[in-house]
């Protein structure tokens, strides 16, 4: 059997961000959505499952108990199992501590994995470090900025990477980790049968003790970085106050040029 570990994250609704006393984002009890890049990571894993016979996708997420609903939504799309990594001691983790915790969960629950799939970015952090951290802790190859795959069997995969200066094709053997970019297609939606199937699935939960981790290795204590200050940007720019039509935009630009002393408008 070909085994995929899909790592996803629940991120706060951008209109409902709250901060903890340590200047990290509050996640428990806050309206959340699936990280957009992880939706495409899920689609990537499902495409592999369609192409390779006998493939199983286990979804891992680290967060509060409410994240179980997200895991069931992904099972409804076609994933097979869900694992919630949850413990109050995990709160405040930076990308290093998060990578250590998730890699420990994968080693514990799915030690014989073939491929780990992550989204390239998380929209609440945008560091793109968690996936590579997981790969480093597991000592496996990693391929980032992946858009698609062209060839795959149970030993290797050929991937297309989208970089600033062009497109690159790379091949990696398994086990490996890949980080997926958003694409220009519409991800699939859950079917009625998929939703019914997901409702009956049990989500496995792992805490710190289950993963054989110590308090100083996880959460805020296990994080070498610390957020000294966090704030919401309150810009007074006109574009954030209202939308302008084309002619109004032209008039505003002419006004700005004239005020700046420009001669040609």
Q: Is residue 155 part of a domain?
A: yes
Angle made by CA atoms 67, 4, 156, in degrees to the nearest 5: 150
CA 33, CA 224: separation in Å to the nearest integer? 27
Q: Is residue 225 part of a domain?
A: no
pLDDT at 258: 80
Q: Say what the pLDDT of residue 126 is.
A: 67
Residue 97 falls inside a structural domain: yes
Helix axes 130-138, 95-109, angle to 10 degrees: 50
Predicted confidence at residue 251, as pLDDT, reads 77
Please tell me whether residue 33 adopts helix, strand or coil conformation: strand
Question: Rounded to whole angstroms, what are the CA distances from 136 to 2, 96, 104, 220?
Answer: 22, 10, 12, 20
What pLDDT sits at residue 13?
Answer: 66
Residue 106 lies in a domain: yes
CATH number at residue 12: 3.40.50.620
pLDDT reported for residue 58: 98
- Residue 239's pLDDT is 42
* Whether residue 124 is found in the same domain as residue 31: yes
Could you tell me if 265 and 157 lie in one domain?
no
Residues 138 and 241 in one domain: no
Q: What is the pLDDT of residue 56?
A: 97
In a domain, 222, yes or no: no
- Spell out the residues 6+ positions from residue 79 whose beta carbon is closer than 8 angstroms to its own: 6, 42, 45, 46, 57, 58, 59
Tokens 């968690």 belong to which residue?
A: 130
pLDDT tens digit sequence for 176-204: 999 999 988 788 888 899 999 999 899 99
211 with 238, same domain?
no
Is 118 part of a structural domain of the chain? Answer: yes
CA distance 90 to 63: 8
Q: Is residue 224 part of a domain?
A: no
φ, ψ for residue 91, nearest 5 deg:
-60, 140
Specify the pLDDT at position 162: 94
Residues of the chain with pLDDT under 70: 13-31, 125-126, 227-246, 261-265
Number of domains forming the structure of the chain: 2
Supply the range of the domain harboring residue 254.
234-265
Question: In this structure, are 198 and 250 located in the same domain?
Answer: no
Both 213 and 246 in one domain: the answer is no
Same domain, residue pair 201 and 242: no
Query: Are residues 167 and 196 located together in one domain of the fold?
Result: yes
> Are residues 136 and 239 both part of a single domain?
no
Does residue 228 form part of some domain? no
The two tokens of residue 100 are: 């250590």
Calpha distance 43→74 (Å, rounded): 10
Q: Are 10 and 131 in a shared domain?
A: yes
The per-residue pLDDT for 175 is: 97
Enumerate the β-bridge partners of residue 32: 12
The SS3 assignment for 105 reads helix
Is there a single domain that holds both residue 263 and residue 168? no
260, 183: one domain: no
């Amino acid at each position: 059997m070909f085994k995929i570990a899909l790592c996803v994250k629940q991120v706060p609704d951008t209109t409902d961000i709250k901060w903890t006393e340590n200047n990290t984002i509050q996640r428990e009890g806050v309206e959340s959505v699936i990280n957009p890049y992880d939706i495409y990571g899920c689609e990537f894993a499902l495409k592999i499952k369609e192409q390779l016979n006998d493939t199983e996708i286990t979804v891992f997420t680290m967060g509060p108990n409410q994240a179980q609903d997200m895991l069931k939504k992904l099972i409804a799309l076609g994933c097979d199992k869900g694992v919630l990594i949850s413990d109050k001691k995990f709160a405040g983790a930076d990308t290093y501590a998060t990578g250590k915790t998730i890699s420990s969960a994968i080693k514990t629950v799915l030690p014989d994995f073939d491929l780990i799939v992550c989204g390239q970015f998380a929209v609440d952090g945008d560091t793109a470090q968690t996936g590579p951290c997981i790969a480093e802790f597991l000592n496996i190859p990693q391929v980032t900025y992946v858009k698609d795959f062209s060839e795959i069997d149970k030993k290797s995969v050929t991937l297309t990477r989208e970089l600033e200066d062009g497109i690159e094709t790379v091949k990696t053997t398994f086990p490996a980790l890949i980080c997926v970019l958003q694409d220009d297609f519409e991800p699939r939606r859950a079917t009625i049968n998929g939703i019914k199937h997901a409702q009956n699935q049990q989500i496995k939960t792992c805490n710190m003790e289950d993963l054989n981790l110590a308090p100083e290795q996880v959460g805020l204590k296990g994080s070498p970085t610390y957020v000294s200050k966090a704030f919401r940007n309150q810009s007074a720019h006109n574009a954030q106050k209202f939308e302008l039509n084309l002619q109004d935009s032209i008039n505003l630009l002419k006004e700005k040029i004239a005020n700046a002393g420009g001669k040609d408008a």
